[in-house]
Structure 1
Amino acid sequence: MSLLKKFATVGGATLVSRVFGFTREMMMASALGIGPVADAFNLAFRFPNLFRRLFAEGAFNAAFIPLFARSLEEEGEEGARRFAAEVFSTLFTVLAILTLAAMIFMPFLVKTVIAPGLAACIDDPETLRQQLSCEDRFAITVAFSRIMFPYLACMSMMAMVSGILNAFRRFFAAAVAPTILNFALIGVLAWCWWRGADERTIGFLMSWGVLVAGIGQLVVVTLAMRLAGFSVALRRPRWTKSLKRLLVLAGPAALIGGITQINLFVGQAIASYQPGAVSILTYADRPYQLPLGMVGVAIGVVLLPELARALKAGRMEEAQHTQNRSLEFALFLTVPAAVALFIIPEPIIRLIYERGAFDPTTTVRVAAVLGLYALGLPAFVLIKVFSPGYFARENTRTPMIVTGFSAAANTALSLVLFWLYAERGIALATTLAGWLNAWLLFEGLRRQGLWHVDRALVKRCALVVLSAAAMGAALLAMMRVLHPYLATGASALHQAGALVLLVVAAMAVYFAVALATGAADRTLVAKLLRGRRKARV
């Protein structure tokens, strides 16, 4: 299977998950708006999600896959099975202890880490009414966090099983499993709407839905692993040389792989000082995550095992080619997506969310945050491209330093900009920190001679920017014409039709200019078209 087809497989499965994620967020926005229950749920869910990215997906995709691939190459399947069993047994034990401790000390975690703004609110006795409101928000945040935290354990074990599947080049099951979460929460929200449940009940049922979905996702990837002819046994944890090497790599890799989530978590913790700001950031994050998930996740999942195999086999020219084409692919899709999200955030947010408890004023606030997030979209996808260049060589020290520096910059910028621009300041800080991270990672590879930019990449990157600029100009012109159909007073059908027309026209302009100028590889496009014709015949 070609690199492009692998990206398409993972990206397509991720797209399905993101589409259902949109449906989930639309229903949640209509039911809860940006009220205290919405804030509590988003704060509680972000915490296990952060640890999932840090100690599960980031660590295992970056550290486990190269070591597992080496075991397959050097010791065969039996050696790989032994290594996987060592890791799984240790992971299971650590997660059990961590989950138990978190359940006990959750009030302390919420007060100091998850939502310090709620604690400050409780300590401020400005009015009795405000104090009671803050105590209520704090209590439901603690309750939701306790229910959802075991989701972390399920996702961590799922990440390991997914790493095994990816090492065997079976990408689909791990990519499609997250859809279960969306199905579960959509089902909960539909039932609550049918029963006329109050906001607090909706929040509690959604929290239980997250936990049930986590168990379901773990079951799906485990079955896929068994179908692939591989299994892992639970044994007594033992300290081995292979496990020590994994932990040495996984610690820094966890920090690096979860940089986007770290920035979002820091932003939400600071935003907890202002009611509604947490939910605004979360709703803006969903449209932004669609292209990031399709392209960034696909590249991150596929590129690392491909690069690791090429380097282990000494095929340096193939590794360089893979890196350059991955960067080319990332920019070709993310630059136009960033331009579009920056120019038309308000019509997008209005169509997706503006109904029920989600009013036009909230639309303007969420759209402003989405526009700023969009400017950082290419940066966070580039991080996914540059990081495997280090991980595949089992070097996590350099990117760990870079990520730590950018995370510190994000925290400092968020603290300063939040007091000036509220939630918009946090979005701007996230974007600036993302670009800093991407630039430092690239410079590190270039200076060590690990990345040689070829002429084709430079040429196509410049042409991609030109094509995206032409598309942006077309979008601005069309928005003036279609404004009556995109405004608040227009019906949902008119808004959807106008937005679809905008997107289709923008894509047509972009791809036409890209093909005309050579930003898109015309030879590759022709080859793909010929392949489809042959398949039809």
Structure 2
Amino acid sequence: MQAPYDREDGRDPGDGDPQADPYPAGPYHHQQHPYQQPQYQQPYAPRDPQGWSGTPQQPQQDAFAHLFRDQQSPAGPGPAQGPGGGYPAQPAPGAGTLAPAPAAQQPPPPPPAPAAEPAPAPKRGGKAAGILRSSAIMAAGTLVSRLTGFVRQLVLVAALGAAVLGDTYTVAWALPSMIYILTIGGGLNSVFVPQLVRAMKNDDDGGDAYANRLLTLVMVVLGGLVIAAVLAAPLLVRMMSAKIADDPAANEVAVTFARYFLPTIFFMGVHVVMGQILNARGSFGPMMWTPVLNNIVVIFTFGMFLWVYGTQRSSELGVTTITPEGVRLLGIGTLLGLVVQALSMIPYLRAAGFRMRLRFDWRGHGMGKAAKLAKWTVLFVFANQAGLVVITQFATWAGDNAERAGFPGTGFIAYNSALLIWQMPQAIITVSVMAALLPRISRSAADGDTAAVRDDLSHGLRTSAVAIVPIGFAFVALGIPMCTLLFGSAGDEGARSFGYILMAFGLGLIPFSAQYVVLRAFYAYEDTRTPFYNTVIVSAAWIVLSAVSFVTLPDRWVVAGIAFSYGIAYGLGVSVAWRRLRARMGTDLDGARVVRTYIRLAGASIPAALLGGGAGYAITGALGHGTIGSLAALAGGGAVLLAVFYLTARRMRVEELTAMVGMVRSRLGR
């Protein structure tokens, strides 16, 4: 998530927004473009957002001119903005004020456009269709990355199982991304990347010197961090899971995995910086698509492991029987995936005209000042990661106890697998919708146009909800056949346990997605402090509710309780964020219309989930929970759910659904 950054003159021009993701599930989530809106006469049209073409794309003389066409005025140029969407000038969050800028009271009317101004492209369709078209284009890279990441998780479960051995790999793999985000990742995306965008727009060399300084600094810092982390691997494993650390065999495997995986911290940082350099030059494809290469390498690695050792179900591999060669194969293959992902960016940098050179002249170029401004984002990330550490302890402890009692598939790898499925709709749909909206919201915030911010925020919530709400109910209705189909390699009992966890996550997708949308508005006002406090509330509630689950529920249901607590915590978080944003903007947030849309969508989803779930249950009752039965239940139940939802929502006149269907029909009709 992006945060403000400091100019040399003390003002904050703005920034953009990433993943995110959460690494490695994406993207990284997620760079932004504006969308078309009637009151703006010159919308931004992304140029080749996929970033792939037959010939290398040459940078424009001003690579950012397309971001400012709707900001021209005699008063001077608008605030600087990155390709991910900019956060226009507002007081820095550390200034302590949450009041709207004075400009919000009486924004000056824009003068007529000069005759020399290029005419905008003709608009096709309304505001909703424009956003949906942009979102569909931007979602492609994320979709492929998520799908290959999902296949990666499937082969992981098949190779290592759903018990302690799988947990050792999952815990070790969580360490690099957590350490990277805690130490440099949050500040890099929130502060240094916006500085990079500004330098590329304003510096005589197009920002090449600043980009090389940033890349060199990141490489030096992360290189030292990798050395320290590898040496501290046993302590890091214990921090994540005392249960694994107390088991000598499991601890040895987890520490060995960690020492192979921790060097990926270096390549994560290099990949992000290279990707943002390309994003700032208008080439968004490489950063979206190179994670696919990482996933392919790891999938191939696990394929080799399965070819040699077979599935965990057939080989009965465990922490005491896995060979050093097997651990080495998985460790090197996983590390190699990140190496390939990072190095594959180099040809695109060269095609964009950027030449990498080591630059150690860091002083006097605003990096120290920018680092100070990253504090709220770093604290935001820390609050998130603290919750993850606690939940990992609970999940590995309860999962190990449940496995000993004869209930596999209830540990941390089960939690992670269900979470991966559950987060996919938000990462593809909500992030893509907000990718199109955020820059426009940011410019409206800079202009003091609270009405435009409110309308766009409302539109983002309602548009994303058309898909998010029924999908949340679908997870509840069809979570078990979905997981028995996908994770059948974990055994019937283990796969059903995965399904119960996914069902528990289910409805939490709705507040989880809404929270993401609402927090974008705070970033548009360059307020990173409020999202931090909101995240503290969510993390604290999640930890408390998870602790209650850990203490009160049987071991086999603890992780399901943690998953359910996740949604409750985000429900609390979005309600708090909504009230704070309403006070921040000093106006109604179109709440009645938003709530009405969500109620109608839920009203259409409830009978759909009941009938779809009933159909799925009947099919598995007749055909069993094997591959054929699960596939038939998922297909049949899903078809019933979709048909009932669509017909009911049309009867309820959900206008956002009509817009989405119209966009899909227009695209298919071309």
The reply to whether TM is greater than 0.5 is: yes
| Contact 1:62 1:250 survives alignment (8 Å) | yes
Which of 26, 45, 50 aligns to 2:178? It is: 50
Which of 137, 141, 144 aligns to 1:16? It is: 144
Structure-to-structure mapping, 1:393-432, within 5 angstroms: 393-421=525-553, 422-432=558-568
Paired AA for residue 362 in structure 2: R
Q: Distance in 2 between matches of 1:521 and 1:413?
A: 35
Q: How many residues align?
A: 516
Q: Distance in 1 between matches of 2:293 and 2:436?
A: 22
| Contact 2:384 2:535 survives alignment (8 Å) | no
Question: TM-score if structure 2 supplies the norm length?
Answer: 0.70
Instruction: From the superposition, tell whether residues 336 and 420 of structure 1 become closer, same or farther in structure 2 (CA, over 3 Å).
Output: same
User: How far 1:22 moved relative to its partner?
Assistant: 2.8
Which one is further off, 180-189 or 45-54? 45-54
User: How far 1:44 moved relative to its partner?
Assistant: 0.3
Matched, 1:118 2:118: no
Counterpart of 1:250 in structure 2 is 374
User: How far 1:54 moved relative to its partner?
Assistant: 4.6
Counterpart of 1:107 in structure 2 is 234
Counterpart of 1:495 in structure 2 is 630
What SS does the aligned partner of 2:253 have?
helix
Matched, 1:173 2:286: yes
Counterpart of 1:130 in structure 2 is none
Q: Distance in 2 between matches of 1:82 and 1:442?
A: 41
Q: Distance in 1 between matches of 2:487 and 2:520?
A: 36
| Contact 1:166 1:301 survives alignment (8 Å) | no
Q: Distance in 1 between matches of 2:356 and 2:649?
A: 47
Matched, 1:191 2:313: no
Instruction: From the superposition, tell whether residues 398 and 529 of structure 1 become closer, same or farther in structure 2 (CA, over 3 Å).
Output: closer
Counterpart of 1:126 in structure 2 is none
Any gaps of 5 or more consecutive residues in structure 1?
123-133
- Which whole-Å deviations, capped at 9, do the CAs of 1:100-153 have from their partners, x for residues lacking one? 110111112222x1222234xx3xxxxxxxxxxx10111111111111012122
Instruction: From the superposition, tell whether residues 273 and 244 of structure 1 become closer, same or farther in structure 2 (CA, over 3 Å).
Output: same
| Contact 2:481 2:631 survives alignment (8 Å) | no
| Contact 2:384 2:539 survives alignment (8 Å) | no
Structure-to-structure mapping, 1:364-375, within 5 angstroms: 364-375=496-507
Counterpart of 1:125 in structure 2 is none
Which one is further off, 333-342 or 437-446? 437-446
Counterpart of 2:158 in structure 1 is 30
Identity %: 23
| Contact 2:508 2:568 survives alignment (8 Å) | yes
Q: Distance in 1 between matches of 2:190 and 2:145?
A: 23
Paired AA for residue 424 in structure 1: A
Structure-to-structure mapping, 1:50-89, within 5 angstroms: 50-54=178-182, 58-64=186-192, 66-71=194-199, 75=202, 78=205, 80-89=207-216
User: How far 1:360 moved relative to its partner?
Assistant: 2.0
Which of 218, 230, 244 aligns to 1:91? It is: 218
What SS does the aligned partner of 1:298 have?
helix
| Contact 1:249 1:396 survives alignment (8 Å) | no
- Which whole-Å deviations, capped at 9, do the CAs of 1:266-291 have from their partners, x for residues lacking one? 31123232426222212222221321
Instruction: From the superposition, tell whether residues 157 and 315 of structure 1 become closer, same or farther in structure 2 (CA, over 3 Å).
Output: farther
Q: Distance in 2 between matches of 1:88 and 1:363?
A: 44
Counterpart of 1:234 in structure 2 is 358
Q: Distance in 2 between matches of 1:319 and 1:76?
A: 31
- Which whole-Å deviations, capped at 9, do the CAs of 1:1-33 have from their partners, x for residues lacking one? 443233223323222222223322222222221
Matched, 1:434 2:434: no
User: How far 1:41 moved relative to its partner?
Assistant: 0.3
Instruction: From the superposition, tell whether residues 154 and 447 of structure 1 become closer, same or farther in structure 2 (CA, over 3 Å).
Output: same
User: How far 1:327 moved relative to its partner?
Assistant: 1.6
| Contact 1:62 1:391 survives alignment (8 Å) | no
- Which whole-Å deviations, capped at 9, do the CAs of 1:47-87 have from their partners, x for residues lacking one? 112234555665444444554455556x2674644443443
Structure-to-structure mapping, 1:278-293, within 5 angstroms: 278-293=412-427
- Which whole-Å deviations, capped at 9, do the CAs of 1:345-388 have from their partners, x for residues lacking one? 11111111123xx1222123222221122232222222321222
Which of 333, 345, 359 aligns to 2:479? It is: 345
| Contact 2:485 2:630 survives alignment (8 Å) | yes
Instruction: From the superposition, tell whether residues 191 and 318 of structure 1 become closer, same or farther in structure 2 (CA, over 3 Å).
Output: same
Q: Distance in 1 between matches of 2:588 and 2:209?
A: 37
Paired AA for residue 242 in structure 1: G
* Cα RMSD, aligned residues only: 3.1
Counterpart of 1:129 in structure 2 is none
What SS does the aligned partner of 1:160 have?
helix
| Contact 1:7 1:299 survives alignment (8 Å) | yes
Structure-to-structure mapping, 1:418-497, within 5 angstroms: 418-421=550-553, 422-449=558-585, 452-454=588-590, 456-485=593-622, 487-488=624-625, 490=626, 492-497=627-632
What SS does the aligned partner of 1:376 have?
helix
Instruction: From the superposition, tell whether residues 26 and 451 of structure 1 become closer, same or farther in structure 2 (CA, over 3 Å).
Output: farther
Instruction: From the superposition, tell whether residues 309 and 267 of structure 1 become closer, same or farther in structure 2 (CA, over 3 Å).
Output: same
| Contact 1:59 1:257 survives alignment (8 Å) | no
Q: Distance in 1 between matches of 2:327 and 2:138?
A: 31
Which one is further off, 259-268 or 170-179? 259-268
Instruction: From the superposition, tell whether residues 279 and 78 of structure 1 become closer, same or farther in structure 2 (CA, over 3 Å).
Output: same
Which one is further off, 429-438 or 329-338? 429-438
Instruction: From the superposition, tell whether residues 76 and 46 of structure 1 become closer, same or farther in structure 2 (CA, over 3 Å).
Output: same
Structure with the higher fraction of residues in helix conformation: 1
Q: Distance in 1 between matches of 2:309 and 2:358?
A: 44
